[in-house]
Amino acid sequence: VERLLLGKYNVRNLDSLFNPKTVAVIGAGTNLNKVGGQAILHLIMGKYQGNLYPVNPKGGTVLNHEIIPSLKQIPGDIDLAILAIPQSLIFSAVEECMEENVKFLIIHTAGFQETAAFDGKWSTIEGEFKRLLNKNRNTRIVGPNCMGIASTSSNLNALMGINLIPSGKDGLNLSVASQSGSAAAISMRAAIKHDLGISRVVSTGNELDLNLEDFLEYFGLYDDTTQVIGLFIEQLRKGPEFLRITSEIKKPIIVIKAGKTDAGAKASLSHTGSLSSSSKLYGSVFKQAGVIEVNSLPELVDFARAFAIYMKMNIMPKGKRVGIYTVGGGAGVLTTDRCAEQGLDVVPLSEDTKAKLDKLLPSIWSHINPIDLIATRDFTTTEKVLKIMINAEEFDMIIPIIPLGIDLQMGKLETIEGIPPTIEEFNKKMLKAYHKSLMDHLLKLVKVSKKPIIVPCPIYSTDMPFQYDDISTLYNAGVCVVNNVDMTTRILAKLYDFVDRQERKKNRELSIGT
Amino acid sequence: VERLLLGKYNVRNLDSLFNPKTVAVIGAGTNLNKVGGQAILHLIMGKYQGNLYPVNPKGGTVLNHEIIPSLKQIPGDIDLAILAIPQSLIFSAVEECMEENVKFLIIHTAGFQETAAFDGKWSTIEGEFKRLLNKNRNTRIVGPNCMGIASTSSNLNALMGINLIPSGKDGLNLSVASQSGSAAAISMRAAIKHDLGISRVVSTGNELDLNLEDFLEYFGLYDDTTQVIGLFIEQLRKGPEFLRITSEIKKPIIVIKAGKTDAGAKASLSHTGSLSSSSKLYGSVFKQAGVIEVNSLPELVDFARAFAIYMKMNIMPKGKRVGIYTVGGGAGVLTTDRCAEQGLDVVPLSEDTKAKLDKLLPSIWSHINPIDLIATRDFTTTEKVLKIMINAEEFDMIIPIIPLGIDLQMGKLETIEGIPPTIEEFNKKMLKAYHKSLMDHLLKLVKVSKKPIIVPCPIYSTDMPFQYDDISTLYNAGVCVVNNVDMTTRILAKLYDFVDRQERKKNRELSIGT
């Protein structure tokens, strides 16, 4: 903390890191398959528009950029230097950067604290690093042993080995700080390929200088381009700081904690050189901090997107009363189970709703919530029922179990001898028309809904390449689609918890104020 | 139970139901978009080869089959009659079937017990049905309010509204009994489209005669074509029977329980007319029965496939000691967490294994289990490491965290101005070659493995249309691929539990025998 407050570039001022005007790549080379060449390739492919200087005493040219022998040749301030060099050269390079007053360094190079357990060199290296850090307190370091950063506002892709264009979506941006490099990269790819925007991504590595808490504070309090924060945590080095920062942040913070079990903590020690504490301790810290814990990266993206969409549309749930629509009883029962497990109330239907549905539906409908139409392919009725549900006062949120993507699931029909091809064609066309009708009715509905609607749809997952335009259309209209019912109910429960917590916080602040 | 023992067609003799030589569809019609016409269409598209008789007093022709006015016109025994008629006609149709000594009836028609909660008719209907049931104890009934059955040995698709060809795989067949119709159909589709065989599927509906326990007994004790049993349970009507039957069955039984929560149980009442008991009661019954509980249909298929494959290959795990291979530390830690949560041991490496790996790898490797290579695209090394792992005495099962399908995930590269297209082409080709190399090395390895290997692969799920031939290749080679690490560890834990339980059972029987 001391160092952070002393340096010019404290967390309130990480702008030069995320919007660097001048970037140097130390260890740049002509071979695009090696880290040093690839760094240049990915910066250019990522559309970085600032001044880019490949640096290597060996010289040469890479992608029309002349490789200069030394930092000293660079005119003006250097905001960011990326170090893609072997471990043996790191210290002299860092010293050179400090002499040139480079503002931020990213050190990809591994072989530091994470090797302490099995080689004897770490204590020597650590001493040397600490001495260096204090040499110029205005040079701040990301890493070592990190994959780097990406930042949409400057089209900066400085993530080692990752070929992506950072891209945001207006008011729908996730920023990620991760103690795992691959987690940073995977969450960024999933977000930008699945209709969530990315503002910043940082892989923090060994955190010998800047750490996860610093980036959390920046994203949460000083970075307007970030709407939702994602954290991949192996170890919190500054627990009390974490609690102080989270208490000030009003944005949703979604957390993956790796190393929750003793066995996992041991594995984490080897990976980042940090020893995770017990699951229980973290559980209570997270609860106190009001962060949202998830178990995997696809979940992180699904949760982040739901928060981003419903916050932007200003239709966060006002309670936890769920209305379920289904055309299959088994699915309705399983959905009710998952709701109950998440503390959501599958409330009874009001007399008013019952009367409206009785008027609309044949007598066989379930007469309770879940509203079960038994089996229908008539989406005009579906739309009417869902409209009754979004207007019903007894519901705060809606889960429609509908066969979204059924044309894709069922589309490939077998050719059978003796069956005229027209029947198969008819079936295929029917499925397509059926799906289009479902989409049309759903989109009409969403426009008037003041409640969050989440659709569980087994053919969609952020794990997958994004193939289905319909789902993108739904996102843009303000309907979340997630892979399964479990995820649907977990997200809805957390949306409400977040609203409830913010509300109580506000009331406390008001009562203190008076 | 009484009725079951008295009738000719008890559970030991459901053969005529699943291998009917003569099938009548009562209520068959010429319109292929209505239930009665569709039943004929789907039987023919499913390739049913026996005698098929559409029955309807209205007459006509459907898909080259003359519609006959009455059952009486059918020569010889009628094994199965499918009733696709309105509720008001059911009783007279059942009586007619009984007069003709039809062996089995499937009643699709809804509007029976499940409507008891909101109309007053049920008690009258129930009395009538019970009276009917005793009129001819040799006519056995599936349903009412059920989707029907499918059976591979007779190419019989008698599932309402479902267009599929039942198909098996030698020694790799699942049979499903389900109290939810859609669950029956969905599990069948997922299984046969995702490289698991299906032997039988039955949707049991209101279970006014034959019930889930009956089919469980048949699949488990009298049906050699079934290797793994799947059950979708809303209510066990004969709990003690369930325990007796499961104690005799040596095949894995995978169970979904819907209505585990009070809210879910209430929803279930409306759906099938059965009131589920508390989650705790079922939990203890399932534990005593040694069945494997899962939460969703994709899970059921994933679990069933793993059991089928490893039982067939005779490489079920002999212990619960896991070896993890990874090229990303974060993933290794998360995997270790999930293993610990499932009771699997991420055991320390033996000195022998360490020595072998030290010889092979640069010094930066993790030196513990998970074996973390930090980052490599060299699959010759991956294969060598995995080979050391499958031969290491400290491991009973292997989880390789490898980028399976990365060419599909990353394949679509953006075109960037200023970057020569050759670089993009190169990247694409590299990814393809990279993936091919991974597959080649993996397949070589599997051939010599005597331990189960499960690969978590986010781009694959039984929920999805099956697009990736590589994953099919892996299944056929004997490697399970599932969507995520959580599923991987849950399956591995249950594989071992099953082996362990069978072992203890055998020992008990032996000690009783002596």
CB contact under 8 Å between A337 and B258, yes or no, is yes
Residues 6+ positions from B449 with CB-CB distance below 8 Å = B315, B390, B398, B478
Q: Are B223 and B198 in contact (CB under 8 A)?
A: no
Q: Are strands B156-159 and B148-151 parallel, antiparallel or unpaired?
A: antiparallel
The residue ranges of chain A whose pLDDT is under 70 are 1-8, 113-120, 269-279, 375-377, 407-427, 464-468, 513-514
Q: Which of A417-421, B60-64, B113-117, B395-399 has the highest mean pLDDT?
A: B395-399
Q: Which amino acid is at A111?
A: G
CB contact under 8 Å between A334 and B364, yes or no, is no
Interface test with B, best of A114, A271, A487 (most B CBs within 10 A): A271
Mean pLDDT (whole number) for B85-107: 94
Residue B317 pLDDT greater than 60, yes or no:
yes
CB contact under 8 Å between A486 and B409, yes or no, is no
DSSP type of residue A415: P
Residue B60 pLDDT greater than 90, yes or no:
yes
Q: Are B17 and B149 in contact (CB under 8 A)?
A: yes
Q: What is the pLDDT of residue B275?
A: 45
| Smallest Cα distance from B459 to chain A, Å | 5
Residue B116 pLDDT greater than 70, yes or no:
no
Q: How many CB atoms within 10 Å of residue B433?
A: 11
Residues 6+ positions from B314 with CB-CB distance below 8 Å = none
Q: What is the pLDDT of residue A330?
A: 86
CB contact under 8 Å between B263 and A413, yes or no, is no
Q: Are strands B61-62 and B65-66 parallel, antiparallel or unpaired?
A: antiparallel
Helix (H, G, I), strand (E, B), or coil: what is residue B115?
Answer: helix
Q: Which tens digits make up the pLDDT trace of B2-35?
A: 455 556 677 778 999 999 999 999 999 998 878 8
Q: What is the pLDDT of residue A34?
A: 86
Q: Which tens digits make up the pLDDT trace of B243-300?
A: 999 999 999 999 999 988 888 887 776 655 554 456 677 888 899 999 999 988 989 9
User: Alpha carbon of B70 to those of A472, B54, B91, B97, B394: distances in Å?
Assistant: 53, 9, 15, 10, 69
Q: What is the pLDDT of residue B1?
A: 44
User: Alpha carbon of A464 to those of A408, B155, B195, B272, B457: distances in Å?
Assistant: 15, 34, 20, 36, 10
| Smallest Cα distance from B260 to chain A, Å | 6
Q: What's the order of all strands across the beta sheet hosting B22-26?
A: B51-55, B22-26, B80-83, B104-107, B140-142
Interface test with A, best of B159, B189, B337 (most A CBs within 10 A): B337
Only one residue has tokens 């319909």, namely A470
Q: What is the pTM of this model?
A: 0.89
Q: What is the pLDDT of residue A210?
A: 94
Helix (H, G, I), strand (E, B), or coil: what is residue A174?
Answer: strand
Rg over alpha carbons for chain A, rounded to the nearest Å, is 26
What distance lies between CA B118 and its chain's CA centroid? 34
CB contact under 8 Å between A270 and B367, yes or no, is yes
Residue of A nearest to B463 (CA): A458
Q: What angle do CA B378, B383, B386 make, to 5 degrees?
A: 125
| Smallest Cα distance from B197 to chain A, Å | 17
- Exposure letters B363-378 (e unless 16+ CB within 10 A, then b): ebbbbbbbbbbbeebe
The torsion angle over the Cα atoms of residues A153, A159, A163 and A164, rounded to 10 degrees, is -30
CB contact under 8 Å between B267 and A458, yes or no, is no
Q: Are A177 and A202 in contact (CB under 8 A)?
A: yes
Q: How many CB atoms within 10 Å of residue A217?
A: 24
CB contact under 8 Å between A181 and B328, yes or no, is yes
CA distance A204 to A235: 11
Q: Are B167 and B190 in contact (CB under 8 A)?
A: no
Main-chain phi, psi angles of B295, to 5 degrees = -105, -15
DSSP type of residue A200: E
For helices B485-513 and B329-341, what crossing angle results, to 10°?
30
Residues 6+ positions from B355 with CB-CB distance below 8 Å = none
What the block records as the tokens of B308 is 């089928």
Residues 6+ positions from A140 with CB-CB distance below 8 Å = A7, A9, A17, A103, A104, A105, A209, A210
CA distance B361 to A66: 36
Burial class (CB in 10 A: 0-12, 13-18, 19+), B466: middle
In terms of Cα–Cα distance, which of B114, B129, B176 is closest to B148?
B176
DSSP type of residue B380: H
For helices A421-448 and A379-391, what crossing angle results, to 10°?
20
Q: What is the pLDDT of residue A418?
A: 58
Give the ipTM of the model, two decimals please.
0.84
Q: Are B379 and B441 in contact (CB under 8 A)?
A: yes
Q: What's the order of all strands across the beta sheet hosting B148-151?
A: B156-159, B148-151, B197-203, B173-178, B228-233, B253-257, B292-294
Cis geometry, peptide bond prior to residue A370 (ω within 30 degrees of 0): yes
Q: What is the pLDDT of residue A175?
A: 98
Q: What is the mean pLDDT of chain B?
A: 88
CA distance B142 to B178: 12
CA distance B439 to B406: 11
Cis geometry, peptide bond prior to residue A144 (ω within 30 degrees of 0): yes
| Smallest Cα distance from B363 to chain A, Å | 9
Residue B159 pLDDT greater than 90, yes or no:
yes
Q: What is the pLDDT of residue B43?
A: 95
CB contact under 8 Å between A114 and B263, yes or no, is no
Q: What is the pLDDT of residue A118?
A: 61
CB contact under 8 Å between A117 and B367, yes or no, is yes
Helix (H, G, I), strand (E, B), or coil: what is residue A321?
Answer: strand
Only one residue has tokens 């080679």, namely B477
Helix (H, G, I), strand (E, B), or coil: what is residue A465?
Answer: coil
| Smallest Cα distance from A41 to chain B, Å | 8
Q: Which tens digits make up the pLDDT trace of B168-196?
A: 999 999 999 999 988 998 899 889 888 89
Q: Which of B161, B270, B330 sits opposite A366 (nearest CB)?
A: B270
Q: Which of B264, B328, B461 sits opposite A180 (nearest CB)?
A: B328
Set of chain A residues whose Cβ sits within 8 Å of the Cβ of B465: 408-409, 411-412, 459
Ordered DSSP codes for A348-377: PPPHHHHHHHHHHS-TTS-SSSSEE-SS--
CB contact under 8 Å between B329 and A271, yes or no, is yes
Helix (H, G, I), strand (E, B), or coil: what is residue A263?
Answer: helix
